[in-house]
């Protein structure tokens, strides 16, 4: 169960409403870096977590906190929309630039939400859960969570630098601090599970002798001239799992040229595709049009 009360997790105040900044704040609600994303990500990771209960409990606790962050940001959007123009005439009469406020707003704040927040990003794209990662592997999920909090913190700092409103800066400074903590806690969870090296490769339950270990720690280059790939920590020295050494080399094709069987007659392909030898490039000879010319002659000439 989840419990709530009337109070926000942290004060939200706006001294000078800014409808354009309200639109920017939408990215922190429904953007791919936003709070809806991490809230759902942590919930689904928790609901599917198997193993020690403490990891599930930590995920549930943090997911619940993220609901509070959505509430704070939705309140901030609504407060920034107070006094926003509701018509073109009102906008022009109060703005010497002529309609600049309405042009910068998300019109759905007026048309669809009645000057309130939406579950969408700064471009009005609804959040669709495509960036909610819950793999059932705790180490993989914790690393994904570090990334989620890192991109969320990048966004929050950009929003902080975008506004001069003291209230908004205060709220964002709190959210930035919580992102700092959440980055740290997910990294701490990995350490609690034995550390990064002990958890690599993910999943570490798959027997490594069953993978082609010739390619397990080699950085491959794909420069056409065969020159060495970019060099760095990833090309030399002990691998991050401590089980071998990084190397590098230019990649050479190891497979064959793919050749597929002709299409089935009932698969909706062209009759030319079904011709004998059609899998050999340039072998298809299109039938000549009855009038002896036109498009098919052009195609035949091009193939010849």
Rounded Cα–Cα distance for residues 73 and 33 (Å): 14
Q: Give the end of a domain, one of 254, 271, 290.
A: 254
User: Does 271 map to a domain?
Assistant: no
Residue 117 and residue 48 share a domain: yes
Q: Which domain does 248 fall in, by range?
A: 207-254
Residue 162 and residue 250 share a domain: no
Rounded Cα–Cα distance for residues 137 and 48 (Å): 9
Q: pLDDT digits over 151-189, tens only?
A: 999 999 999 999 999 999 999 999 999 999 999 999 999
Q: What is the CATH number of the domain that holds 56?
A: 1.20.1260.10
Q: What share of the chain in percent tops pLDDT 90?
A: 79
pLDDT at residue 294 greater than cutoff 90: no
Residue 216 and residue 119 share a domain: no
How many domains would you assign to the chain? 2
Residue 80 and residue 213 share a domain: no
User: Does 285 map to a domain?
Assistant: no
Higher per-residue pLDDT: 52 or 88: 52
Residue 219 and residue 138 share a domain: no
Residue 229 and residue 167 share a domain: no
Residue 109 and residue 183 share a domain: yes
Asked whether the beta carbons of 33 and 155 are under 8 A apart, the reply is yes
User: Does 272 map to a domain?
Assistant: no
User: Does 8 map to a domain?
Assistant: no
Residue 168 and residue 85 share a domain: yes
User: Does 5 map to a domain?
Assistant: no
User: Does 278 map to a domain?
Assistant: no
User: Does 124 map to a domain?
Assistant: yes
Residue 226 and residue 148 share a domain: no
- The three-class DSSP label of residue 93 is helix
pLDDT at residue 279 greater than cutoff 80: no
pLDDT at residue 303 greater than cutoff 60: no
Residue 229 and residue 173 share a domain: no
Task: Identify the band that residue 124 occupies on the pLDDT scale cut at 50, 70 and 90.
Answer: very high
Contacts within 8 Å (CB) and 24+ apart, 67-72: 67/2, 67/39, 68/8, 68/9, 69/9, 69/35, 69/39, 69/175, 69/178, 70/29, 70/35, 70/36, 70/39, 71/8, 71/9, 72/8, 72/9, 72/10, 72/12, 72/171, 72/175
């Amino acid at each position: 169960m989840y419990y709530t009360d009337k109070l926000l997790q942290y004060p939200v105040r706006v001294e000078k409403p800014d409808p354009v900044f309200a639109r920017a704040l939408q990215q922190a609600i429904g953007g791919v870096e936003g709070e809806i994303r991490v809230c759902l990500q942590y919930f689904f990771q928790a609901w599917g977590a198997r193993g020690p209960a403490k990891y599930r409990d930590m995920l549930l606790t943090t997911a619940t906190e993220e609901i509070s962050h959505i509430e704070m940001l939705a309140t901030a959007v609504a407060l920034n929309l107070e006094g926003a123009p509701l018509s073109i005439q009102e906008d022009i009469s109060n703005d010497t630039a002529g309609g600049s406020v309405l042009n910068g707003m998300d019109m759905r704040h007026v048309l669809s939400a009645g000057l309130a927040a939406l579950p969408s990003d700064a471009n009005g794209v609804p959040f669709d859960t495509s960036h909610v990662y819950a793999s059932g592997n705790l180490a993989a999920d914790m690393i994904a969570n570090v990334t989620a909090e890192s991109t969320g913190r990048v966004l929050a700092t950009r929003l902080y630098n975008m506004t001069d409103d003291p209230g908004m800066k205060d709220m964002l400074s709190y959210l930035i601090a919580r992102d700092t903590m959440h980055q740290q806690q997910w990294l701490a969870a990995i350490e609690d599970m034995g550390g990064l090296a002990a958890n690599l490769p993910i999943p570490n339950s798959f027997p490594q002798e069953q993978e082609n270990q010739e390619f397990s720690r080699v950085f491959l280059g794909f420069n056409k001239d065969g020159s060495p790939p970019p060099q760095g920590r990833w090309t030399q020295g002990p691998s991050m799992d401590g089980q071998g050494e990084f190397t590098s080399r230019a990649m050479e094709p190891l497979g064959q040229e793919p050749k597929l069987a002709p299409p089935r007659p009932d698969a909706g392909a062209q009759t030319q595709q079904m011709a004998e030898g059609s899998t050999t490039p340039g072998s298809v000879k299109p039938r000549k049009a009855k009038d002896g010319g036109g498009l098919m002659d052009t195609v035949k000439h091009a193939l010849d």
